[in-house]
Chains A and B, each alone.
Chain A
């Protein structure tokens, strides 16, 4: 099986991967980074969201070859030296989860949103996050967490 080198959370990682294998599968099953989740395999639920060059990307639909050489950030790469990121802390403060299976994907999608728009309106939050499903129905708290993180950000 061919080897592929990826840049994940600031580090070069090499793994075997089948041709066309999804980034999600490589992250979870080859690199042991299980923080990114499988929910549907069809890009419909957002549980697999990672950042590729800062863009929220559904890793279940990204063939691993297509992201070689690009900077990939997963949920594991968000906290620095054990310190939670602003968004992670906001999710904790709002307790914006129940079973928390969607949480990694929610945080990564929100990270992508805030990176491009530091002070989104509620409508913009809903629109950009609408690809992420929470079956436990915790949407209002997730919006509150994103708002909370955004309000903590320095104004440009």
Chain B
């Protein structure tokens, strides 16, 4: 089971945005780069090769040969790496620097990254999909390696020495015979050199000395002192503060607007009122005045009746989108014959699982600072897709993309929720109208309502086992949630997996860390547990019996061993569960221990052990942090997070009634990394999320006999939640 299988089934799930055909050119102005960073060496990639690598798609359109600049080495030895990826707390600012430092043989301190600036950094499709480490990491390693080779060439010429005597060490080229050494900076001084990338071999992970170490987070000090400027902290000369008037419900149209009172308030208070179609907003010299002006606006909206939460799952199942591909889905293929296998199976099982809508709730809400200079627009904003947002802005304001610059400061998280540029467009609109820079920061209520949500879903699984517990049939249908990880990693001769997109889902849906893999893992690993009980086998043994993939087996066995699986029997107040899987190059297994309060029907997660294998580990400290954090975040979606909605309104858009995991929800977490230096480094931003929900559901079942098949598991107290047979709803 590998990514290739998923591609054959054409089950690759698209991300939130529409992946546009790559029309973009590398708008690199090398002269400006040298002006900005000084004379030195620039290493670049020819446009065609770079695009193909980053997009994973063949590009038939003829693209002018131009050079994207990926690295600059200055006369003072300062190394600047340029990447379109952005830092959202996943710490790639550190781990990518490590990968560069390794290949370049240069200390970490000499390297800094310019990230997510559409004027300076090469085109990038976006920071999502766990791709930064495998794809951008490899790209930057190639660039660094090429730079190193160029420096050796330069030194050989400089010294008139044999190339074979020279080696790159710690920021210097050293001549092993004469013992001369020269710094990288000295070698490039005063020159404007450009090197175009070829295809070099990379340093193997077993030889790493900088990559593979727990390098501390770059610029850490700026974060503990409050010095780092997030988008919402940025100020510009003459800046105004913006507010947007929100509709009464989703899909509402503005019927009328009475802005007289707001206009009266405006002149004395430096307020600008903007009304453009259905867009209504204000910009003012201070946020209080903006707030006041907004409250003076009287708007009438008209919204159609819309589906509410009650009846959601029925709606998702019965309203297929047969026209378009929907959210990246397509019918799956069948292997063998499921129907025949089910008919002859010793035991069969048919169950339904559901997941609620949840929201990312990044602690920094959407924010943007927009500034026009004539027809040139600059927007600072925390988005995962600076180039995508640049296009949105260019399109919204009918200006060429090269007149739009998007800059992404290191941002207060996203989790897949910041692909789109609503706030950037709104801020730019207000800036355009007022003739001054505008800062717009969404409120928490706006962030909960007007962004997008992880899709809700219904998952049906039908399966069959032989008398000895061998899996003989497996059929899985996912409605609306998505096809990520819909294919099972277990051995089964007769299987079918199909994703059914829903027509007009009730809420705006989009990418959320892990996409549908969380839902599909929950359904599958819960179902596997139910089958294990049906087969009268230990849940771990049942899985291993039906699994040959060695990396996934290793993940399960390591986790189980570390957890002490099987050492203690479950009891009415103490349960143990196991779950695992594979997604985007990462293998995981999760064991959970829960404590049940029978009288109150409450469940507390006491202990979680998780193993993770994502190939050669670039930064073990950063990786542990991400995995542990994903487990905590996963507790939210597993136990209590749910967006409630009624007739086009979100009814719980506040932290007081959208419960997120807190200190008191955090169990003892034990992470074991499986560091496969012989395997390519894969991403880890998403997959560690996936084992928690089913491990906990399985643990609850082991203690109470109650099988909960709906996320969030604790929507109701346990006693009310369900019977042995019933679902959690």
Contacts and interface: CB of A to CB of B under 8 A. Distances in A.
B629 A137 contact: yes
B363 interface: yes
A149 to B, nearest CB: 12
A34 interface: yes
Contacts of B220: 92, 95, 97
B288 A140 contact: no
B170 interface: no
B629 A133 contact: no
Interface stretch (B12-20, B34-42, B653-661): B653-661
B625 A138 contact: yes
B582 interface: no
A107 B224 CA distance: 8
B662 interface: yes
Interface string B625-652: 1101111110000000000000000000
A82 to B, nearest CB: 9
Interface stretch (B50-58, B225-233, B274-282): B225-233
A102 B40 CA distance: 39
A34 B216 contact: no
B444 A41 contact: yes
A136 interface: yes
B89 A136 contact: yes
B413 A139 contact: no
A99 B633 contact: no
Contacts of A16: 286
B363 A45 contact: yes
Contacts of A97: 89, 217, 220, 223-224
Contacts of B232: 34, 37-38
B413 A136 contact: yes
B400 to A, nearest CB: 33
A102 B666 contact: no
Contact of A100 (B223, B292, B415): B223
B214 to A, nearest CB: 8
Contact of B89 (A36, A78, A98): A98
Contacts of A18: 286, 288-289, 292
Nearest to B661: A137
A139 B666 contact: yes
For B225, B241, B622, which residue has the most chain A Cβ atoms within 10 angstroms? B225
Contact of A35 (B225, B415, B666): B225
Contact of B443 (A29, A41, A140): A41
A137 B225 contact: no
Given A134-B363, A139-B666, A98 B629 contact: yes
Contacts of B631: 137
A126 interface: yes
Interface string A86-116: 0011011001011111111001000000000
Q: Chain A contact residues: over half helix, strand or loop, or mixed?
A: loop
Contact of B660 (A29, A42, A88, A133): A133
A130 B362 CA distance: 18
B364 interface: yes
Given A95-B625, A98-B629, A139 B655 contact: no
B411 interface: yes
B217 A137 contact: no
B91 interface: yes
Given A29-B286, A98-B89, A135-B413, A75 B225 contact: yes
Most buried by A among B360, B363, B415, B625: B363
Contacts of B621: 95
Nearest to B230: A101
A36 B225 CA distance: 10
Nearest to A34: B233
Contact of A102 (B217, B287, B363): B363
| Chain A interface size, under 10 / 10 to 19 / 20 to 34 / 35 or more | 35 or more
Contacts of A134: 363, 632
A41 B232 CA distance: 14
Contacts of A1: 286
A98 B221 contact: no
Contacts of A104: 226
Interface in A52-67: none
A89 B221 CA distance: 9
A143 interface: yes
B629 A138 contact: yes
Given A98-B91, A101-B413, A135-B633, A44 B226 contact: no
Contacts of B723: none
Contact of B363 (A21, A101, A127): A101
B223 A103 contact: yes
A35 B660 contact: no
A59 to B, nearest CB: 13
Contact of B226 (A30, A74, A130, A141): A74
A84 B415 contact: no
Interface in A24-47: 25, 28-30, 32, 34-42, 44-45, 47
A91 B413 contact: no
A113 B656 CA distance: 23
A11 B636 CA distance: 42
Contact of B412 (A41, A101, A129): A101
B89 A100 contact: yes
A41 B656 CA distance: 11
Nearest to B362: A135
B30 to A, nearest CB: 33
Contacts of A36: 226
B226 A35 contact: yes
A99 B89 CA distance: 3
B669 interface: yes
Contacts of A101: 89, 230, 362-364, 412-413
Interface string B191-227: 0000000000000000000000000110011011111
Given A99-B363, A139-B632, 12 more contacts: A35-B227, A37-B232, A40-B444, A76-B225, A99-B362, A100-B224, A101-B364, A104-B226, A134-B363, A135-B360, A135-B413, A138-B629
6 contacts: A100-B228, A126-B666, A133-B655, A135-B633, A136-B413, A137-B630
Interface of B: 88-91, 216-217, 220-221, 223-230, 232-233, 235, 241, 286-289, 292, 360-365, 410-413, 415, 441, 443-444, 621-622, 625-626, 628-633, 654-656, 660-664, 666, 669
Minimum-distance CB pairs A-B, first 6: A35-B226, A99-B89, A137-B632, A101-B412, A137-B629, A44-B655
